[in-house]
Amino acid sequence: MSRSLAICRSLLLVPALLLPTLSQAHGPTPQKVDEEIAIAASPDVVWGLVGDFGAIAAWHPGVKEARASGGNEAGKAERELTLANGERIVEGLDEYEAEKRMLGYRLSRENHAAMPVSFYSATLEVVDDGKGGSVVKWGGRFYRADTGNFPPEHLNDAAAVAAMTDFFRSGLESLRVVAEKAP
């Protein structure tokens, strides 16, 4: 416990207030992605594809390669994704509920060149549509890459929303094609 806290008593207010700041941490303004798709394949078939945390490259066109460890154990499993642009990110599995066909994960190593976000958490769930098919819901909460108050265009909220929405949507569309072709 430190009793001697540095006190910045002599900050000149005006210059300090006008300086843009860059933080390595994610900022306080979360953004949302919320996508879903109907698939003419049984929930078990769809979960067979998405329920293997490390096997995302088998159905997501934006993932060239996934190197996984820890299986599907929440709190342990990780996957390092090489995206279409050759850049890598690492995601960690937080929740895994096979009975509910639901998993939750987070970004554990950011890379703005791969994805212009500083952090995200996301949930993917396969819901029985009651008619033999499935609805897959994939949503998440994330923060732009540059969490300062003056982000350049390629690192701002709009860039983050566009990238995440595209990743989720293209993944779901491809998942539908793969699942509907499955035996």
Partner 1 sequence: MRGFYPHYGAERTCGPVRSSSSRYCLRALRQVALLLLTFGLPGVVAAGELAWITNQTAGTVSVLDLDALQVIDTVDVPDGPAGVAVTRDGSRVYITHPDLGLVSEIDAATRKLVQSIEVGGSPFGIALDERDRRLLFVTDWSRHILIVIDPKKGIPLDLLAVGQSPAGIVVDELARRVYIADRESDTVTVLDADVARGFAQIKVGSHPFGIAFDQAAKRVYVGNVRSGSLSVIDTADLKETAQIPVGEFPYGIAVGRDGKVYVANQRDDEIAVVDPATASVSGRQSVGRYPDGVAINAAGDRLVVANWFDDSVTVLSLPGLETLARIEVGEGCRAFGQFIGPAPPVP
Tokens of 96: 């895994």
Using the minimum distance from each CB to partner 1, give the nearer residue, 19 or 84.
Answer: 19
Tell me: does residue 153 bind partner 1 (CB under 8 A). Answer: no
Cα–Cα distance, 103 to 13 (Å, whole number) = 47
Among residues 32 and 67, whose Cβ is nearest to partner 1? 32
> Taking the complex as a whole, how short is the minimal distance between the CB of residue 178 and partner 1, in angstroms?
27
Q: Which stretch binds partner 1 (CB under 8 A): 30-38, 50-58, 62-70, 174-182?
A: 30-38
| Region 87-146 residues binding partner 1, contact defined as CB under 8 A | 94-95, 104, 121, 123, 139, 141
For 90, the enclosing helix (H) or strand (E) is strand 88-97
Q: In what order do the strands lie in the sheet with 117-128?
A: 31-39, 134-144, 117-128, 102-109, 88-97, 78-83, 63-69
Mark out the alpha helices in the chain (DSSP H runs).
13-18, 43-50, 157-181
Residues that bind partner 1 (CB under 8 A): 1-9, 11, 13, 16-19, 21-25, 27-32, 34, 94-95, 104, 121, 123, 139, 141, 147-149
